[in-house]
Amino acid sequence: MKVVLKEHTDDDPKLAISGAPVVFWAKKTAKPRPPNRVKPKMAASPASAVKLSASRGTSGARRRRTRCRKCEACLRTECGECHFCKDMKKFGGPGRMKQSCIMRQCIAPVLPHTAVCLVCGEAGKEDTVEDEEEKFNLMLMECSICNEIVHPHCLKVKDSNGLVNDELPNCWECPKCNHAGKTGKQKRGPGFKYASNLPGSLLKEPRLIRDSKEEPEPATVPTAAAVPGLTTTASAVKRKVEQEVTSKRSEEEPPKKRPPLLSLDAMSRPRLEDNPLRKKRKLFETNDEPMIVKKKKKLCKPDDPFSAKLLRHITAENDHDEENEEQVDHEEDGLSLDGMHFKEKKKYDGEVQDDNLEQGEMVKKRDGVLEDKSKVLLNPLLRTCAATDGDHLSLNSPRAGPSGEPGDAPEKSPAQLKARHQRRRLSNKEAGKESNQESVKMEDAPSQKLAIVKIEESSPNYNRRPLKNEDSVVNQNCKPIKTEDAATKRALKLEDGRANLNRPQLKMEESLTNQNHRPVKPKTENEADNQKPRWPLNNGNSDLGDWLRHRGLEANGTPRGFSHSAGTGVRRSRRYVTDRYRAGRRRNASKWSAT
């Protein structure tokens, strides 16, 4: 009703059949209210400059990710009820927030079609080959730390190991950064802020469905965070958490990772997408009658089990977390970083670019700390997952650039761009189809992921133009540099970076970091155990299905909630499954700075 009224606020009463308006808007006629935020107009120059530098600062151009269009969330329609939907003009809102529906937060955001390799300037070419390994080497991988997007095989040092992040398609810690020990930046990783399945989600806890009367789960959760039902709890809960955290903190220290958590894998992935997530405040209105109905039917079954399971896991985890923490480092497989797989690159010889890549070695020498890891890394091909803890592995990643960085580059000719597009990624429609197929197939056989591979498109690979570095990163502050320089620069950056760590950056970076970052996730461990390959290699877009699958619960879209918490992430993460996702960038940040 509200919407209707709003829509007709400006109707001319004279046009009414009766000749007279029946309803009146409370005295104020609709007025477009002034922007809440006043804009400093003058700022243009300084502000902008700052922004630019900040955002892109170090690494290359950051690219924001976009929705995969294949996951459950992407396939859903807007709920019209969440906070963001309500903001949309189509639902009668002002349209100021410009965020996607909470129920539609993509769980596997992909690199934009326009993304290209920093080294060769070409897009991902995984579609041109069959072999997994090859696919991996030809697909674009975005480093969660330095944000660079490259073809693994375009890296100079071929032998180095990158750490593949299972949580996000085409995301890894490049060899350079991996070896370096992530010193530097740790920014927010890629991924969407509100995607419940991702670590840094800003979503608050999920509202459990308590509709049915029983509501099995809520009660049980001891951990404060989880308990949702009431909004009020928050403070209390929070406190609790913190305490724990602190206590924990003392113990831990170096990084280590956490023990294997639960295995989500098995979870039959309940797909309940319906899970309404809700934020504390109100992503959704308080009432959800409608949803409830739905849920009941479908969810009933799954739900209970699911929830219960989840809870159990959580609990369990808590328990061991504490104890296990220390051990973690070496895990059976060797790595234990959550969500990450080490991938070894084979050696190639090309020596294309510059330098970026070789640092790994140097780094090793340098960081003593890393040793453990490095050893592990050395093992060739371990794809196991690693459990990362927040510390290191957490993903941070590249940020996409939101608003700010313009400076980039000159663009490519439109034609080129276009070409690129065509060749790469499927259109939505196609994607949709694909997804369906995949989903069907995949359902059961996890192992096959590869086989399934999706449709291949003909990929004419063309080369895209060697772009310049759009990145610009380079450009901006610096002066005009050429690619080469850029490369060099980058390399330097890295090195220095490590030393310094943060670059001179601006505050922004850090701040940013906090917000979104996500630590890698947890679950993987079990999975790792169970399976093996996961999707290390081909994560490309196409394999979303697998990817999702392997992610377990979250994948389906069920958004999980997180309490967000903040700060302390890491520790917290150990405790709750959900939490772990969000490890803290913050922590890292502080760490970094300290260093």
Partner DNA sequence: TACAACGTTTAT
Partner DNA sequence: ATAAACGTTGTA
DSSP annotation string for 158-227 = TT-EEEEESSSTTEEE-HHHHHHTS-S-----SS-TT-TTSTT----PBPP---SS---HHHH--STTT-
Is residue 356 at the binding interface for DNA, with CB under 7 A as the rule? no
- Binder among 101, 168, 442, 453 for Zn ion (CB under 5 A): 101
Residue 208 CB, shortest distance to Zn ion, in Å, is 18
Is residue 31 at the binding interface for DNA, with CB under 7 A as the rule? no
- Give 46: exposed, middle or buried? Use CB within 10 Å, 0-12, 13-18, 19+: exposed
Q: Are strands 141-143 and 171-173 parallel, antiparallel or unpaired?
A: parallel
Residue 583 CB, shortest distance to Zn ion, in Å, is 18
Residue 232 CB, shortest distance to DNA, in Å, is 13
CA pair distance 543, 237, nearest whole angstrom: 39
CA pair distance 364, 450, nearest whole angstrom: 33
Judge whether 513 and 396 are in contact, CB under 8 Å: yes
Is residue 151 at the binding interface for Zn ion, with CB under 5 A as the rule? yes
Is residue 550 at the binding interface for DNA, with CB under 7 A as the rule? no
Instruction: Give the residue with the Cβ less far from DNA, 212 or 416.
Output: 416
CA pair distance 383, 344, nearest whole angstrom: 8
Comparing CA positions, the residue from 44, 261, 65, 47 lying closest to residue 144 is: 65
From the list DNA, Zn ion, none, pick the one residue 156 interacts with, judged by a Cβ distance below 5 to 8 Å according to partner type. Answer: none
Is residue 101 at the binding interface for DNA, with CB under 7 A as the rule? yes
Q: Residue 15: how many CB atoms within 10 A of its CB?
A: 8
Is residue 116 at the binding interface for Zn ion, with CB under 5 A as the rule? no
* Binding residues for DNA restricted to 46-65, rule: CB under 7 A: 47-48, 51, 54-55, 63-65
From the list DNA, Zn ion, none, pick the one residue 79 interacts with, judged by a Cβ distance below 5 to 8 Å according to partner type. Answer: Zn ion
Residue 195 CB, shortest distance to Zn ion, in Å, is 9
Is residue 68 at the binding interface for Zn ion, with CB under 5 A as the rule? yes
* Binding residues for DNA restricted to 152-191, rule: CB under 7 A: 187-188, 190-191
88 token code pair: 């949309």
From the list Zn ion, DNA, none, pick the one residue 472 interacts with, judged by a Cβ distance below 5 to 8 Å according to partner type. Answer: none
CA pair distance 386, 332, nearest whole angstrom: 10
Place of tokens 């997804």: 435
Is residue 66 at the binding interface for DNA, with CB under 7 A as the rule? yes
State the binding string over 81-100 for DNA (x if CB under 7 A, else -). Answer: --x---x--x---x-xxxxx
Is residue 467 at the binding interface for Zn ion, with CB under 5 A as the rule? no
Judge whether 502 and 510 are in contact, CB under 8 Å: yes
CA pair distance 328, 240, nearest whole angstrom: 25
Q: Residue 254: how many CB atoms within 10 A of its CB?
A: 11
- Binder among 113, 179, 185, 498 for DNA (CB under 7 A): 113
From the list Zn ion, DNA, none, pick the one residue 154 interacts with, judged by a Cβ distance below 5 to 8 Å according to partner type. Answer: Zn ion
Judge whether 247 and 175 are in contact, CB under 8 Å: no
Rg of the chain on CA atoms, in Å:
24
- Binder among 52, 61, 82, 171 for Zn ion (CB under 5 A): 82
Question: Where along the sequence are the contacts to DNA (CB under 7 A)?
Answer: 35-39, 47-48, 51, 54-55, 63-67, 78, 83, 87, 90, 94, 96-101, 104-106, 109-110, 112-115, 187-188, 190-194, 202, 204, 279-281, 399-406, 408, 421, 427-428, 508, 511-512, 514-516, 564-567, 586
Question: Where along the sequence are the contacts to Zn ion (CB under 5 A)?
Answer: 67-68, 71, 74, 78-79, 82, 85, 101, 106, 117, 119-120, 143, 145-146, 151, 154, 174, 177
